[in-house]
Structure 1
Amino acid sequence: MILTSLLLLAIGYLLGSTPSGYLAGRWLKGIDLRECGSGSTGATNVLRNVGKGPALVVFLVDVGKGTLAVLLARSFGLNDWLQVLAGLAALAGHIWPLWLGWKGGKAVATGLGMLLGLAWPVGLACFGLFMATISLSRIVSLSSVVAAISLPALMVISGSSSAYVVVSLVASLMVLWRHRSNIERLLAGTEPTIGQKS
């Protein structure tokens, strides 16, 4: 079981490391997203520099990475804590991908995927908050920050296990840390809206 757990954690990390946004930029525009816009390889930077269709595909792939890591762990009978670790491994892989010199995305979509795998009602509630905020503000980073801050409270309200509550706190902090430059721009009033270049 120890070897199985370690293998599934490694698989979770490798899933998260799949550089979907980077590949979209390279294949479709011949650009390195790490040198464009925000420097992130996530769906938002793909939207701004490659296009809407590729951004949607990247978003769905990144969500799938987080969900698949959790569901694989569950299918092998791993407990809640190990399922959580598999999801966090996918998040870590997305943020610090092996293939891209440890510089990846901000883990919002992959974090959503992890939540959908662990506790789908909480995942959908977070996505709802994200969409409501983006419809009002048209600022992706603000929507991500609102969803991240709300996550631990939603997990507690849902009555989820202590493992899920802990992972919600960790995932929230990871997302907020990755958005620290965005938060500075939000406070300064200089964060771009959808359709603007960052």
Structure 2
Amino acid sequence: MEWEWVLYFFGAYVLGSIPFGQIISRKVASIDITTRGSGNIGATNVARELGMKWGIVTLLLDMLKGLVPVIVSMKHGAEGGSFSFIGPYLVGLCALMGHQFSCFRRFNGGKGVATALGVYLGLSPLSTVLALILFVLIVAKWSFVSLASMVAALSIPILLFTFGASGASIIVSAIMALLICLKHHENIGRLMKGEERKWKDRKITQ
């Protein structure tokens, strides 16, 4: 039934709202990650402040926030109905918005890159792999994770268009990319001033 999609949207938002980076930093190091480094709750800041291991753990958990609800909703969509195709994309958007505007953090949150990665791994694996390759190339060349994240996010709707995806899915993907870029507004300012912190300059934490 169509009303069941409302439950998927709500569930994806709540799951996306769980601030794993903040929880991990408190449990592992008894610190509030929002007061360290960039102040972001995402995997990049966790890796810089707590070490690569915990950054990877945060990355995987944030990815699952996007991947799990999308996979579940895709199975429901396979049963048919007017939301059978666009529904999973909207579920993914809700998961992303949960991370970015968490109900557990007074509607504040992270940038949503890892959660979006999980969403697209479920929706379009090929587009995701190509976007990841682009991400890695940019980080390897310029060492700016923020720049690589934005370019990769913006590449997804372009790739979907190239592969003949529906107009609705491309629009939702473009909205997700826009939200990610808006969440990087401070990074954009630092990039323009030449003050953005490079990944290669991170401190090494065991």
Short-chain TM bin: over 0.9
- 1:196 is matched with which residue? 202
Aligned counterparts, 1:48-127, within 5 A? 48-77=48-77, 78-127=83-132
- 2:35 is matched with which residue? 35
Please, what TM-score do these two structures have when normalized by structure 2? 0.91
Answer whether contact 1:152 1:169 (CA < 8 A) is retained: yes
Q: Distance in 1 between matches of 2:73 and 2:197?
A: 38
Aligned counterparts, 1:147-186, within 5 A? 147-186=152-191
Q: Distance in 2 between matches of 1:17 and 1:55?
A: 18
Q: What RMSD in Å do the two structures reach over aligned CA positions? A: 1.3
CA shift for structure 1 position 173: 0.2
Please, what TM-score do these two structures have when normalized by structure 1? 0.95
Answer whether contact 1:118 1:164 (CA < 8 A) is retained: no
Q: Distance in 1 between matches of 2:2 and 2:159?
A: 32
The answer to whether residue 9 in structure 2 is matched with residue 9 in structure 1 is yes
- 1:129 is matched with which residue? 134
Aligned residue identity for 1:189: G
Number of residue pairs the alignment of both structures matches: 197
Q: Distance in 2 between matches of 1:163 and 1:122?
A: 16
Deviations 1:16-46 (A, max 9, x none): 1121101111011111112222221100110
Q: Percent identity?
A: 37
Deviations 1:125-174 (A, max 9, x none): 11111111111111110111211222221111111122221122111101
The answer to whether residue 22 in structure 2 is matched with residue 22 in structure 1 is yes
CA shift for structure 1 position 102: 1.7
Q: Which runs of 5+ in 2 are unaligned?
A: 78-82
CA shift for structure 1 position 55: 0.3
